[in-house]
Amino acid sequence: MSPSVRLQEMIRVIRSARTQGEERGVIQRECAAIRAQFRQADNGGRSHNLAKLLYVHMLGYPAHFGQMECVRLIASPRYSEKRVGYLGAMMLLDEKQDASLLITNSIKNDLSHSSQYVQSLALCTLACMGSAEMCRDLAPEIDRLLRASNSYIKKKAALCAVHIVRKVPELGELFTPAAHSLLSEKNHGVLHGAVVLMTELCERSPETLAQFRKAVPELVQVMKGLVMSGYSPEHNVAGISDPFLQVRILRLLRILGRNDEAASDAMNDLLAQVATNTDSSKTAGSAVLYETVLTVMDIKSESGLRVLAVNILGRFLLNNDRNIRYISMTSLQKIVQTDHNAVQRHRGTIVDCLKDQDASVKRRALELSLALVSAVNIRSMMKELLLFLSSCPPELRSHAASGIFSAAERYAPSQRWHIDTILHVLITAGGDVRDETVPNLIQLITTATDLHCYTVHKLYRALVSDISQQSLVQVACWCIGEYGDLLLRGECEETEPVQVTEDDVLDALETVLQSHMSAPATRGFALTATMKLSTRITHNVDRIRSIVSIYGSCIDVELQQRAVEYNALFKKYDHMRAAVLERMPVIDKSSPGHTNGEVAGGTIKAPDQTKLTQEEGTVTAQPTNQVCDLLDLLGGSDGPSQPALAEPGPTGPDPVRISTGGDLLDLLGGLDPTPVSSVTVYEKNGVTLTLQCDSQTDTDVTAILTASNSSHSDITQFTLQAAVPKSVQLQMKAPSGDVIPACGLGQVTQTILLHNPNKVGLRMRVRISYCAQGTTFQETVQIDSLPTVACQ
């Protein structure tokens, strides 16, 4: 039986094994026989034995004992044995194996062999597993073969040179002249290798990039020859002449034309020709067009050419292939900030992609749709987005709600429309919104003084119909507590008047308090709203007192504390109850200490100092650090308490300072807070991260990381991770969000609590992860010393 049949017989036996144990037994017997034959000095079937061993290796079994046999076969003068030896070297050896050093001399000798096939074996092996030392030793031989007359050898030498440049970048200068000369070749394989080599050299050396920019006219001529050539059966793929070479040339042109006016001008006409003459009905044509679009967008191209590129991407959106639609929207997402009007023309097609069955296409369509929202189309786009929100998958609901909130805050045509939009989102996806949505909506409602009656009626109806959406219930309870008198009055011009009795309102709040679906924070809102109604109704004060007293023994400590404090208001401080429970003043979101991670309406404006002294006797509101809110009037908000704005008082010679904070009677009246210093710890890709610290005690420090975005596109998937020395205890609060709006229109804050019992020097390492224009970034920042306040 011949050795070749024995190999086939071994494969047949292995495949016919019924169990894994039986398969292992067959392989162990064969490996033992192969080892025995390797030990024989004169073995004519060495190549067949190694071939069997390579098959065993492909099945995942150890075959390292065949490495030295590979070295022996490579040194053999017979081509059949060299072929198997080199194949074994590529599979069994790598640069970490000592045996790989033994074949360096054999490869060098075979690179000078008279047979092109032996030279080819050596080139393939070097390109596959050559180490840095082998590349340095054999680089001159590769440069010599790049200048050979044989096209078969030159194309393999070019790809081998690519491997050498990747392993030893400083050797790139050696191949620069030869790579340029290969552009004059007619063989497509040689051209392909030359373009790949030039691309690698340009990416690794700015000097080489400047040198190869002179070759742009030659590349343009090669590309024109491919585009305008007739049918060639050797290179034709679905009607496109060698699309693989075209794609490689376009990628190289993109690198050469980036940030260079002259090179971009030289290729503008070619790009327009490719964009108009390439058929996009087949995948090969779509690939060429896609690379053309990327090149147009990356170089200094003409405006008309950029519009043509956007239109090509718009055509891709109509393609039946979901992969093509996906890459089209990914590309449009990157250019929507620079070519907004051109992308807007395809808004209808992009919105239609929201209905696609593929989750990845839906996500891209959502991100692109949110980026297309503007002051002109806010109403029509918001209708589509709200419709999508009602039926979108659960994993996209949070992202969709955040995007709608951001767009509504930036482009809302009116406050009523803004409130209606946010309430619609809360009704549809209230369980998937970010934590800062509730305080942001409360701030919006307080500023819309003309809409208080309309808002409280609408929220009351939403509360009665559904109490499962916690964010909606919290806002509704807050509004009922603040504006319950407007609800009971029943006079509202903006909506149909509904007669609501005191019992109806209290029943609704009591339902929230008793519901198993209510979170502890929601119950806190409801209890505070019930307490506030005691000054807004007249006939059910005793019922409110009874409700509050019940929760004085609640198992939830937070709720119990509220109830005890409210009971004290009813009993010991009843004379102060009306003043303490009066309406909250308008919350100024730009005031110090009020940061929810976003900024409403654009940039924060500094207060006008001239208005503070316009009249004598103006009462000045002076916010201070609010350490302890005795009565917790904000109803369980996790954020910092808000400073109350003083009402105008009687005229007097001096302004009166009023401070709302930890001391109810403000005995220390008007002490300025300790200034908190901040430092910038990260600034890259438009993202700026600042750190400020506040020392609560000698051992407790509060560090606040604030991220802002100065770029023209939103930063998404923003996360922070922190590490401190082992002797320091670290607790990270929930971040204010994961999306940083563009152009500095918002911030994301992350609060970190540090407990330093040993009072060691505080150091921190912060890992920052985010996604900008479809690209994911991850950076690590070392902070060796925190701002000085933290160490006080």
Q: Stretch 66-91: mean pLDDT, rounded?
A: 87
**pLDDT at position 245 over 60:** yes
pLDDT digits (tens, 9 = 90+) for 577-618: 888 888 888 776 554 444 443 433 333 333 343 333 333 333
CA dihedral 331, 337, 340, 342 (to 10 degrees): -40
CA distances from 371 to 228, 544, 559, 782 (A): 38, 48, 42, 34
Handedness of CA 621, 623, 627, 631 (dihedral sign): positive
Q: pLDDT at residue 196 above 90?
A: yes
* Angstrom distance (rounded) from CA 88 to CA 71: 9
pLDDT number for residue 466: 84
Helix intervals (H) in 75-150 = 79-92, 104-111, 116-129, 132-146
- Residue 591 is predicted with a pLDDT of 47
pLDDT of residue 78: 87
- Average pLDDT (671-697) is 76
The whole-number pLDDT of residue 578 equals 85
Residue with tokens 């007192």: 545
Three-state DSSP class for residue 384:
helix
Residue 642 has pLDDT above 50, yes or no: no
**Residue 58: exposure state from Cβ atoms within 10 A (0-12, 13-18, ≥19):** exposed
> Residue 411, class by beta-carbon neighbours within 10 Å (0-12 exposed, 13-18 middle, 19+ buried)?
middle
Q: Return the DSSP state at 44.
A: T
Contacts (Cβ under 8 Å, ≥6 apart) of 629: 641, 662
Report CA-CA distances (Å) from 777 to 395, 597, 739.
22, 21, 14
Alpha helices in 412-556 (DSSP H): 415-429, 437-447, 452-465, 470-489, 502-514, 520-532, 541-550
Return d(Cα 567, Cα 228) in angstroms, integer: 88
Q: Are 83 and 54 in contact (CB under 8 A)?
A: no
Q: Indicate if the pLDDT at residue 477 is higher than 90.
A: yes
At 601 the pLDDT is 37
Which are the contacts of 332, defined by CB distance < 8 A and separation ≥ 6? 310, 313, 343, 346, 350, 368
Residues in the chain, total: 792
Instruction: Please give the Cα distance from 501 to 536 (Å, whole number).
Output: 12
How far apart are alpha carbons 783 and 142 in whole angstroms? Answer: 48
Q: Residue 145: CB partners within 8 Å, gap ≥ 6?
A: 111, 119, 123, 153, 154, 157
User: Whole-angstrom Cα distance, residue 679 to residue 747?
Assistant: 16
For 368-393, b where at least 16 C-beta lie within 10 A, e where not — what string? bbbbbbeeeebeebbebbbebbeebe
Q: Which residue has the higher pLDDT, 26 or 665?
A: 26
Residue with tokens 């229109």: 745
What H or E segment, with its residue span, contains residue 747?
strand 747-755
Helix, strand, coil percentages (3-state) for the chain, rounded to 5, are 60, 10, 30
Average pLDDT of 726-748? 86
Whether the per-residue pLDDT at 320 is higher than 60: the answer is: yes
Give the CB-side neighbour count of residue 40, counting CA atoms within 13 A: 10
- The position carrying tokens 């440069």 is 143
Maximal CA-CA distance, the chain = 118
Per-residue pLDDT averaged across 278-304, rounded? 86
Asked if residue 279 has pLDDT above 60, the reply is yes
What does DSSP assign to residue 730? E
Contact between 563 and 544 under an 8 Å Cβ cutoff? The reply is no
Q: What are residue 77's DSSP bridge partners?
A: none
- 129 close to 103: Cβ distance less than 8 angstroms: no
Tell me how far apart the alpha carbons of residues 616 and 655 are, in angstroms, rounded to a whole number. 7
Q: Is 659 within 8 Å of 677 (Cβ atoms)?
A: no
Q: Is 574 helix (H, G, I), strand (E, B) or coil?
A: helix
- Structure letter (DSSP) for residue 163: H
Tokens of 646: 């003083």
Pairing of strands 747-755, 729-732: antiparallel
The strand ranges marked E within 676-742 are: 678-684, 687-695, 700-709, 715-723, 729-732
Q: What is the pLDDT of residues 764-791, one digit of tens each?
A: 889 899 988 878 888 888 888 777 543 4
Q: What is the mean pLDDT of residues 534-538?
A: 83
DSSP letter at 7 equals: H
Q: Model confidence over 725-736: pLDDT tens digits? A: 888 888 888 888
pLDDT beyond 70 at 57: yes
Which amino acid makes up residue 449?
T
- Give yes or no for a contact between 504 and 484, defined as CB atoms under 8 angstroms apart: no
In the predicted model, is pLDDT for residue 639 greater than 50?
A: no
Per the confidence metrics, is the pTM higher than 0.85? no
CA 684 to chain CA centroid, nearest Å: 15
CB 432 within 8 A of CB 390: no
410-426 pLDDT, tens digit per residue, is: 888 888 899 889 888 88
Instruction: Name the least confident of 432-441, 478-487, 594-603.
Output: 594-603
Q: What is the pLDDT of residue 161?
A: 92
CA distance 199 to 117: 27
Residue 187 scores a pLDDT above 70: yes
Residue 232 DSSP SS3: coil
Query: Over the stretch 441-460, which tens digit does the pLDDT of each residue have?
Result: 888 888 888 888 888 888 88
Compute the average pLDDT of residues 514-538.
88
Question: Which residues fall within 8 angstroms of residue 578, CB to CB, at 6 or more apart?
Answer: 535
Closest CA relative to residue 749, chosen from 680, 689, 684:
689
Residues 6+ apart with CB under 8 A from 49: 3, 34, 37, 38, 43, 69
CA 729/CA 735 separation, integer angstroms = 19
Task: For residue 449, count other CB atoms closer than 10 A to its CB.
Answer: 9
C-alpha 474, offset from chain centre: 30
- β-strands 620-621, 657-658: how paired? parallel
What's the pLDDT at 162?
A: 92
Helices (H), ranges, 375-436? 378-391, 394-411, 415-429
Contact by Cβ (8 Å): 596, 439: yes
The H-assigned helical ranges of 299-321 are: 303-316
Roughly how many angstroms between the first and final C-alpha of the chain, as a whole number? 88
Per-residue pLDDT of 119-175, as tens digits, reads 999 999 999 888 888 888 889 999 899 888 888 999 999 999 999 999 888 888 888
Across the chain, what does the average pLDDT equal? Answer: 80
Q: Is the pLDDT of residue 233 over 70?
A: yes
